[in-house]
Amino acid sequence: MKNLACVLAFLFIWLAGVNVFAQAPNLKMPLEEGYSYLLTVEPGGATIWPGVYDDFHTGTFYYSIDFDNPTDSCAPFITNEYPFVVAAASGTVKRVFTNPNNPLGGYGYGGEIDHGNGYTTIYGHCLDPFYFSVGESIVIGENLCIMGSTGNSTGSHLHFEYRYNGVTQPINFQGVTVFTAGQCYTSGNYIYNSTQTCEYLTGPDANWNYYCNNIKSVFDPWDDVQILAKFTNLVTDHRFKIEAYRNGYFAWDYTTGWNIVGSGGWDSAYFYPSLYGAIPGSWSFNISIDDGGGFTQVDIVNVEVPLNQYYTYNWTQNCSYITGPDSNWHYYCGYPTNYFTNGWDVPVLIKISSIYSDYRFKVYVYKDNVYQWTDTTSWTSVGAWGWNYAYFNPVIYDATVGTWNLYIYIDDSDDGVDNYDYLTYSQFYVF
């Protein structure tokens, strides 16, 4: 048996006592990107007003912070007095706060996003209700609400918390870890828009936009698959990465060089990798961006390249003996025949090719139309790229006089249940 593309060597590194903190999300500032915002309350509760402390930034809430939006204190400032609050990282909505008026309601309008591994972020005092419901998915940079002053608040601001297992944690926005009341901080939170898969791309047009044409998620075997990811409001240098998997196996990855944004920022940016000559199977593409704080995965896009069957049957031979494998993993049937002497070992050789799915064989053996036994192989993994060919060679040892029949089946579903399909039939005679 031979791998279709190449032989891959895998290095397994065993890590003991891995700290879950290594799986923390990469956070961005939770406000419209490209603008500066005044920090009014720092971790521990100190405020911009000398000697005034905020009790909601002490104890369990120690590391929470408040951002204001004065139009004359920070530059560049946003002209809208009520900027959008945006997701600091991708995740799923865990809670939605719906009490806008009662000071004891605390957060007012807002919500909590679950980023996995025990990490969440909280957004409080929104002007309007949270734009998402519990259980909905959110991507980094997506608008959540508008900055406001609902709940226990005395003025328009954003109350932000970063939690691990319910306890606030020190915040890191792209390497910024020290937050001081009275200082201005600029948001570099890009917006991820979407990733599409299609037959071909056009662009750029006069505005440097690209377009995905004939968008679809199911392709014919050997088609080229074009992938187009779009981001907006990028104010920092960045690079992109794609990781491709087929049938759950890593196939390839690609990382771009750094895109230098400059002082003005970019309205939009595109990442357009391609999969050329897609072999059959279930493909998934992990899309990530690094804008200075390490790669953050923003999406997983799935594509199907179906076949009626993920192999081609070649032939079956009854052999006097079998040789192989040779250097190319071929096996050979020595002196093929259907007639054997009593007591002879009879090997049967079956060849299949163009295999694009993990598989296993089953054989039912009969002599003179009487069932003898069944044999089932274990699953064979063909990896991300499939195999050119494979062989199955059941053997009837010490075959006795009679007419022997073998019924061979193959299962290429690998879905946890038996899905055997009839493959071939072999008959030989022992005298």
As a whole-number percent, the residues of the chain with pLDDT over 70 amount to: 91
Average of per-residue pLDDT across 26-42: 88
From 32, 49, 30, 48, select the one nearest 40 (Cα to Cα). Answer: 48
Q: Give the per-residue SS3 of 373-418.
A: EEEECCCECCCCCCEEEEEECCEECCCCCEEEEEEEEEECCCCCCC
As a whole-number percent, the residues of the chain with pLDDT over 90 amount to: 66
User: Do residues 56 and 104 touch, judged by C-beta distance below 8 A?
Assistant: no
Q: What is the largest CA-CA distance in the chain?
A: 106
Domain boundary assignment for the chain: 25-186, 191-305, 312-430
pLDDT digits 0-9 by tens, 371-389: 999 999 999 999 999 999 9
What pLDDT sits at residue 63? 94
Residue 39 has pLDDT above 80, yes or no: yes
What pLDDT sits at residue 293? 73
Residue 424 backbone dihedrals phi, psi, to 5 degrees: -165, 175
Q: Evaluate whether 25-186 and 191-305 have a shared fold.
A: no
What pLDDT sits at residue 264? 72
What pLDDT sits at residue 71? 63
Reported as a pLDDT band with limits 50, 70 and 90, residue 69 is confident
What pLDDT sits at residue 60? 83
What is the distance between the alpha carbons of residues 125 and 155, in angstroms, rounded to a whole number? 9
Q: What is each CA distance from 319 to 176, 333, 378, in whole angstroms? A: 72, 5, 23
Average of per-residue pLDDT across 250-265: 91
What pLDDT sits at residue 22? 43
Amino acid occupying residue 310: Y
Residue 391 has pLDDT above 60, yes or no: yes
Average of per-residue pLDDT across 42-53: 90
pLDDT digits 0-9 by tens, 176-187: 899 999 998 888
User: What is the CATH code of the structural domain delimited by 25-186?
Assistant: 2.70.70.10
Residue 316 has pLDDT above 60, yes or no: yes
Average of per-residue pLDDT across 243-255: 95
Amino acid occupying residue 127: L
Q: Which residue has the tokens 């704080």?
A: 293
Average of per-residue pLDDT across 73-77: 71
Residue 139 has pLDDT above 90, yes or no: no
What pLDDT sits at residue 16? 30
* CATH 2.60.40.10 corresponds to the domain 191-305: yes
Reported as a pLDDT band with limits 50, 70 and 90, residue 284 is very high
Reported as a pLDDT band with limits 50, 70 and 90, residue 158 is very high
190 versus 17: the higher-pLDDT residue is 190
Q: How many CB atoms lie within 10 A of CB 124?
A: 28
Reported as a pLDDT band with limits 50, 70 and 90, residue 76 is low
- Lowest average pLDDT, out of 95-104, 163-172, 196-205, goes to 95-104
Residue 18 has pLDDT above 70, yes or no: no
User: Do residues 146 and 108 touch, judged by C-beta distance below 8 A?
Assistant: no
The CATH number of domain 312-430, selected from 3.40.50.12160, 3.90.1300.10, 1.20.1260.10, 2.60.40.10 = 2.60.40.10
Average of per-residue pLDDT across 398-403: 96
Q: What is the mean pLDDT of the chain?
A: 88
